[in-house]
Amino acid sequence: MTSSPTPEASITSPITAELLISGAVGIAEVAADGSDVYWAESRPSEAGRTAIMAWREGTITEVTGPEVNVRTRVHEYGGGAWWVADGRLVYSNDARGGELFVNDLDTGRETQLSSAGYRYADGRLSPDGNWYVCVRERHDGDEGDPVRNEIVAVSMDGHGTEVVLADSHDFYASPRFGLGGQLAAIAWNHPNMAWDDTELLVIDSKWLDGEPDPTIRSYCTDRDQPESIVLPGWTTDGRLLAVTDRSNWWNLVEVDVASGSVVPVIEGDFEIATPGWVFGTSRWCEIDSGVVVVAGTCHGDTIGFPNGFVEDRHSSVGSIHALDDGRVCYVAASHSEEAAVWIHDGTAATRISEPRDLELDPALFPDPELITFDSSTVDASLPKGTTAHGLFYRAALADGQSLDGLAPLLVLVHGGPTAAARRQLDLTIRYWTSRGIAVAAIDYRGSTLYGRLYRNELRGQWGVADVTDCVAAARYLAEQGLVDPKKMIIQGGSAGGLTVLNAVAKYDVFTGGVSRYGVTDLRALATDTHKFEARYLDLLVGPWPEAEQVYIDRSPMSYPDEINVPLLILQGEDDKVVPPSQAEMIVDALRENDVPVTYHLFAGEGHGFRRSDTVISVLEATEQFISSL
C-alpha cells in the first residue's frame, strides 16, 4: 500500500505509479496467417518499442529482434506498420528510419525492401506475393508541397523498386486486394478528414502485368451530402464491402462496382468504424458462414457473428481478423482487465495472451456509469435539452476505507477532438479513484460512438461546445450530490488541452487545470502543424485565414489574464503535432500575470508519452499538483 498526498491524504492505495508501467504492454493490432495469430506489442519499459508476437501451435514467441521497433510515422500518428501473410512479415522499422523490411518467418532471413527515406503504412501483399502495396508518405517535396501521400507497390525482391499506383489525392488509406488483383482504397482531400468526406476507389490490376497508369474508378459519388466511407474489403466471392455513415451510423454496406449503388449488409444504431486517426484498424471480417462485425455503442463494443451469437463480455475491441478455420482473432479489453488477444469460434472465446495479473481487489474496478446531461443549463443560447454524455467513475477505495465527505472530481477531456473516452481498463483513472477522487471522462458534442449528427455538432464550435459540455458535466455531478463542487479539476491532452485552458478561463468552476501537449493558439496550430491536420480546423473553427478573428477568440493565448487558477503544463520536446512553442507561449504569459504554473518538458517524447520514466514522472507531477490545490 502507498499513501497519497491527495486531498484525502489518509487514504492508501495499492495502485502505484510503478504499477502502471511495470510489465505493462499495449496491444492494439492483431493479424492472422492461416491458423497462426500475430500481434503488435508496445512496451513502455523499452522506451515504447513495439515488437511483433506470434502464437503458433499454442506457443507465444517474439518474431522481431530486440533492435527492431515496429512503428511508422505516416500522418505522425502511425498505425498499420506491419502485415503478415504466407509466412512473411513485412514491417516498418522505426529504429532504421522507418524503412520497410521483410522477415521470412520459417528461415528467419530478413531482407530490406526500401531505402529512400520514405514512410510506409497500411500495406497488404499482392495475390502473387511479389508486391507489398501500401500508403507511402514522402517529405522531399518543394516548399509549396513538401509532403506527398501515395499508394505504392513495393517490390518484394529487395531491389528497391516502387511503383506509384495513385497520387492525385491528399490522403489514402486501406489498399485492399480483391479477386484478380484489383485494389479497393479510400482517398480524401483537404479540408476533410477521414471521418468527414471520403471517396472509395477501385484500382484495376493491369499494373501487376507491368502496364503503367492503372485505371482508377471512384464509387458512391452520386450522393447529395458528405459521407465517410472507410474500411473497404473484398469477400471471397468478389463482393466489395465498406463501412459508411450515410445512415448517420457507420454501418456495413455492399457496393455494386458496376453501378456504384449501395446495399446495406449490417445496419443499426451502432458504429462499426472508428475515426481514422491511425492506420491498421479492422472492425469486420469474413468467415465461411458470413461477416463478423464489431459494433460500438456509447456503452462499449460487442462482436456480432453470422449465427446470431453476440459476444459482449468485452467493453473495447480492437482489430479483428479471420483465421483459415472459420474462427476469428481479435484484441479486447474490459473495464476490469487489460487488453489481450482472443480467439472466438462463434460460440465461445478463448484468451491466448495473458494480461498482467494485477493482484488487485476487483472492488477497485466497478464499471463506470454512463451519464447524460443538459448543456443548455450552462449556455442559455442552446436549445433546451441539448445533451452531451460521459462516463462517471465513482471513487472506489481499498480495504474497506471510506471517504470523509464528498469526493473531489477530476474531469478528463479526450483529444482529437474527434474521438471518445476509452471503454476499457485505464489504470490511470483507477489510480485516482482508488485515492478517493471521482473521475468523469466526457464525450462532449463532437465525440464518436453517437452517430455522425452528434459528431458534426462540433463543426464550427470547437473551443465552445466542448467547453460548455465539460462545465455542464461537472455542475451536473455536483448538483446530483456525487462530487464536491469546491474540489473540481479538469485535465486534457492535445485538443483536450485547449478545452482545459478555455474552461478555466471562461468559467469559475474548476480549482485547477492540467494540460498535456495542449493547443494554446489556434492560429499557430493552423499554420504550424503536420499535413494530416493542416486543414482540420477549417471545419471545426472556420476557414483559414478568412475566419482569423474566430481563431483569436477561441485561443487561450488571447486572454491569459482571464486565467486565475493554478495550471500544470506537460509537453513532449519532439512533438510535431502540437509543438513545444504552443506550451511555452501560455507558460510565459501566465508567469507574467503571476498565475501559479508548473511546466515540464520531456526529452525524447512526441505527441503522447511512451517512455516508462515519463509516464511515472507525469503521474507524480499531476498528483503533486492536485494535492497542492
Residue range of the domain that includes 502:
2-17+360-627
> Does any domain span residue 177?
no
CATH of the domain at 462: 3.40.50.1820
Q: Which amino acid is at 219?
A: Y
Q: What is the pLDDT of residues 89-114, one digit of tens each?
A: 999 999 999 999 999 999 999 999 99
Q: What is the pLDDT of residues 254-310, one digit of tens each?
A: 999 988 899 999 999 999 999 999 999 999 999 999 999 999 999 999 999 999 999
Q: What is the pLDDT of residues 216-263, one digit of tens each?
A: 999 987 788 999 999 999 999 999 999 999 999 999 999 999 888 999
pLDDT of 359 reads: 92
Q: What total of structural domains would you count in the chain?
A: 1
Give mean pLDDT, residues 552-557: 97
Give mean pLDDT, residues 366-394: 97
Helix, strand, coil % (nearest 5) of the chain?
20, 35, 45
pLDDT above 90 for 555: yes
Give mean pLDDT, residues 517-527: 94
pLDDT above 80 for 122: yes
pLDDT of 260 reads: 87
pLDDT of 2 reads: 43
* b/e sequence 376-392, b meaning 16+ C-beta within 10 Å: bbbeeebeeebebbbbb
> Does any domain span residue 48?
no
For 225-234, 461-470, 601-610, which range has the lowest pLDDT when averaged over its residues?
Answer: 601-610
Give mean pLDDT, residues 461-483: 98
Give mean pLDDT, residues 618-622: 96
pLDDT above 90 for 9: no
pLDDT above 50 for 37: yes
pLDDT of 570 reads: 98
pLDDT band at 23 (very low <50, low <70, confident <90, very high): confident
pLDDT of 1 reads: 42
Give mean pLDDT, residues 196-221: 92
Give mean pLDDT, residues 408-420: 97
> Does any domain span residue 393?
yes
pLDDT of 145 reads: 85
**Residue reference for cell 477532438:** 417
> Does any domain span residue 208?
no
Cell triple for residue 320?
A: 479483428
pLDDT of 259 reads: 87
pLDDT of 529 reads: 86
Higher pLDDT, 481 or 8: 481
pLDDT band at 139 (very low <50, low <70, confident <90, very high): very high
pLDDT band at 528 (very low <50, low <70, confident <90, very high): confident
> Does any domain span residue 489?
yes
Question: Which of 583-592's residues contact partners 24+ apart within 8 Å by CB, and which partners?
Answer: 583/515, 583/517, 583/518, 583/520, 585/520, 585/521, 585/524, 585/557, 586/501, 586/515, 586/520, 586/556, 586/557, 586/560, 589/557, 589/560, 590/560, 590/563, 592/560
> Does any domain span residue 564?
yes
pLDDT band at 3 (very low <50, low <70, confident <90, very high): very low
> Does any domain span residue 377?
yes
> Does any domain span residue 431?
yes
